[in-house]
Structure 1
Amino acid sequence: MVAEQARLLERARIAQDMHDVLGHDLSLIALSAGALKLAPGLEDHHRMAAQDIRAKAAAAVERLGEVIGVLREETDDAPMGPSDSGLTHLVGEASASGLAVELRVDGEGADLPPVVERAAHRVVQEALTNVAKHAPHAATTVHVSHTATETQVLVKNGPASTAAGLRPWSGGRGLIGLDERVRLVGGSFEYGPRAGGFAVVARLPHMPPAQAPRPADATPHLQGGGLPQEYRRARRSAGRTLVTTVMLPLVTGAVLSGALMGWEMVSASRSVLDPRVYARLRVGQDRSEVEHVLPDRQTVARPSATEPKGRDITCEYYAMTADRFDDRSGNAYRLCFRTNTLVSLDALAS
């Protein structure tokens, strides 16, 4: 039961991590929808749709926070790591606190998946906490190795002093929680005595395979048999709560993102001026001659360029392409009219 409590506590931390990431993404969706709502030339029913997307994204962020709050209350307070999740910062803080700790990093870890980066941070954080408790004067090494497929974290310390070794062991709940976090990302976790000291090793794949659930009575590194039936039911209930917590914002975010991207693509396609049509336009033409070949709406892109000055001059902008992956994406054609006469034609790069 103690081991299971530690696992549930770590799952609450994982849920909070998901809240931070998904809450940020949903906030960006709401921000984009708000900008779309204010776009010039937008029809009223499309403006209402953008407003609705923004409202739903904001509501999803609030609901996500409420669900995470309930989960944390049910599993006791689960303190998060520091806002700066860099391992250099973490090891630097430990060193400033008096630990003789050295950080070694092999390979490039700039593009780690967020779950791997957070799991590695938690492994180092918990391992250094244990060193501070049980071997505060021992030389400690944090070795992080990045390859194309996995990240390995090794934290090892030398023998503890006699005085520190007499301190009571806290029960290993933090290590059990780490085992649960590493397992959930498809990795492996080991810990135990090494060369008179202690070592913690975690292997974190960058693309974890599908995981089969661990049997209810499998409790690594601990003695004991199966859990009581009542506790297994409580664990299943907590698991369903966690799945709901994670999946609800994921699905909501995917739907909102898809709707917003779909609207942007449709809107962009209706503002594209065919290059062949542009090539046939001539300065001096009357607006009535060119109106029937112009797109339904103007593009929201406005490449920086000085507009012609003069009274009664108005300029219109039309996209060169609706394909985001086209090199011309963001470029625009500018047509300027004085009263009803075309006075300038420009192809502008963003």
Structure 2
Amino acid sequence: MMTWPESLRPSGLASRRGAGASALLVSATCLLATIADVRWAVPAAVSSLLAGRVVARAWPAVVVLAGTIMVGVAILVAVPSLLAQAGTLVAVWVVAGLVCWLAGVAWRQGTELMRAGWARAAQLEREQRLVAERARLRERTRIARDMHDSLGHELSLVALHAGALKLSPDLAAAHRDAAEEVRAGLANVVDHLGEIIGVLRDSVDGQEERAVGAGPSDLVQRAAAAGVQVRLTRSGTPSPTTSAMHDHALYRVVQEALTNATKHAPGSAVEVHLTSEPAQTVLRVVNACAEPQTGGSHGSGLLGLRERVRLAGGTFEAGPRAGDWEVIARVPYVCRGAGAASTTAVAVHHRHRRRVSRTAVALILVPAVTYSALLAAVGLWRHQVYSRAVLRADAYASLQVGQQRTRIASRLPARQVPHVPPVGSAPGTVCEYYAMTSDLFDDRSGDAYRLCFREDVLVTLDTLRS
């Protein structure tokens, strides 16, 4: 089994999750604090970037950031006086929250892509060594077979001559017996030579012998009898006709997975799941993700399993999943040939490249769409609030200084504009502000009427331009 990188070990995963949760919490807190002071956007941006860099799963960050932005929007709705700075706040939240988080995700995925590239190069180098060694062994086997063919033929001829010599009528009885011994000895030599070549052929072709009819269930039973906590579950209807490559691939995957589990995670429970689908069998072996010992096989066992499953036309995956070590093999009932797609380092590299490309697109589209949607929502709410605070031009023209407020109350809107312009008023007066229009595309948008009263008597009428 391959030794794990530090970042994939259980302790490393736990620390990364803790750091990611802390970064998300700090980011959410700082985003809400920008309502009081926009300078909180800087720590919010830094913590969002770190959260994207550390948190591997997207949905926790999406839930936290989306929930934080929704809470902020709710605060804007509940406090109408904040509507004037709503556009600025929404832009800060989108940039310091979503954009920085997506930048952190792109940073992490770029690092993973680089690691996947190095892993691919290392695996290709190992595969080249394995291919070269396999070629050498095959060549030696071919040489041995050639020797068997040539020597067997020559020895058979010598045995044939010895048999003819035995039948010679002018040969003495003692010599006839000696010729028979020579013929029998040569026949034994030919048989032994064939057995030796057969052993070489089996070891090179990788078709090591196993008990007839033996399968994953036999391996599980033997492992359970030896004290391993292993359980086999089956689902689906197995195909009545399966190829020998299919059966042997499943046998080897279970055998190697149980061996690795007992070696690297002794005492842990092992779950073996066999699912029979319409066209293939899906084998999953899950055990506790214990820290492996150093000095192992450097992944040669996994490489051998991947190659065996690939030759059977299937795919093979192995790695940490949610705190466990999981091995997944999908093997078709009928071999599709060695050219079938497989989950190799090349596929992993391509998958990381696709993820980085999708993140780069999301880095542009998601913030833009989110900002537009939030700005549209805030704009609609602002229009709703301002529409109830619009003082019609004819109603304003009918107002005169000296009128009692009770007499003009019916002509005034039910609400005032939420944002009070920073314009001073005379001492002892109470001023009210009403919008000229609620249409954002009107030139008067943002302008207001100011009506000041002293002891409920209208004393001034002003027009405030934005």
Bigger radius of gyration, 1 or 2?
A: 2
TM-score normalised by structure 1 residue count: 0.40
More helix by share: 2
TM-score normalised by structure 2 residue count: 0.31
